Amino acid sequence: MADTDHTRRTFLGLAGGAAVLGTVPVVIVRPVEATPAMLQTAIRNVVGEANVRTGKVKLDIPPLVENGNTVPMTVSVASPMTADDHVKSIHVFNEKNPQPNIGNFHLGPHAGRAQISTRIRLADSQKVVVIARLSDDTFWSATVDIVVTLAACTEEVI
């Protein structure tokens, strides 16, 4: 099932990309893209050698994005936000933008609710990874696959 899903998304991504290329006659030279290896390095820079587990974190972001220049996203973490058990920071990464980092958000028990929202840029159909660091220094993550039809960062400045 997971494989089928992945294939369909990959196909949709390619189809979307082909549609965009079809309508734009100018050949666009893409900037250097972050690779999954760079994504792993960026994540290791934050978590060190710690184990990153899936769960607790929820990433709300549209699965199909028309305009990659501004993509609204909300990250929420299931946490009581007490002095003993709270979210220290939330880190957002991507797979294929020129840089793997999107943003780091530092909060504390005073926040009351572990939730942040912002708007991001996505240069391609790709994965967005969110990692939350809790007060006991455990790391929890969520990953979402996103299809982008109009990519950010590649247009020319007139």
Partner 1 sequence: MPSALINVPPKAKRGDVIEIKTLMSHIMETGYRHTASGEVVPRDIITSFACRYNGTEIFRADLYPAIAANPFISFFTTATESGKFEFEWIGDKGFSETASASITVE
Taking CB under 8 A as the criterion, which residues in 5-34 touch partner 1? 29, 31
CB burial of 118-150 (b: ≥16 within 10 Å; e: otherwise) equals eebbbbbbbebbbbbbbbeeebbbbebbbbbbe
For the bound state, the minimum distance from the C-beta of residue 3 to partner 1, rounded and expressed in Å, comes to 29
Query: What is the contact mask toward partner 1 in residues 31 to 70, using x (rule: CB under 8 A)?
Result: x-------------------------------------xx
Q: Is 118 in the site for partner 1 (CB under 8 A)?
A: yes
Calculated CA dihedral for residues 11, 12, 18, 21, nearest 10 degrees: -140
Q: Which of 47, 88, 115, 150 binds partner 1 (CB under 8 A)?
A: 115
Q: φ and ψ at 124, to 5 degrees?
A: -170, 165
Q: Name which of 16 and 68 has its Cβ closer to partner 1.
A: 68
Report which of 138, 153, 158 is spatially closest to residue 57, judged by C-alpha positions: 138
Each residue 73-102 as x (binds partner 1 by CB under 8 A) or -, in order, gives ---------------------x--xxx-xx
CA distances for 19 relative to 6, 15, 145, 149, angstroms = 20, 6, 19, 8
The residue ranges that bind partner 1 (CB under 8 A) are 29, 31, 69-71, 94, 97-99, 101-108, 110-122, 152-158
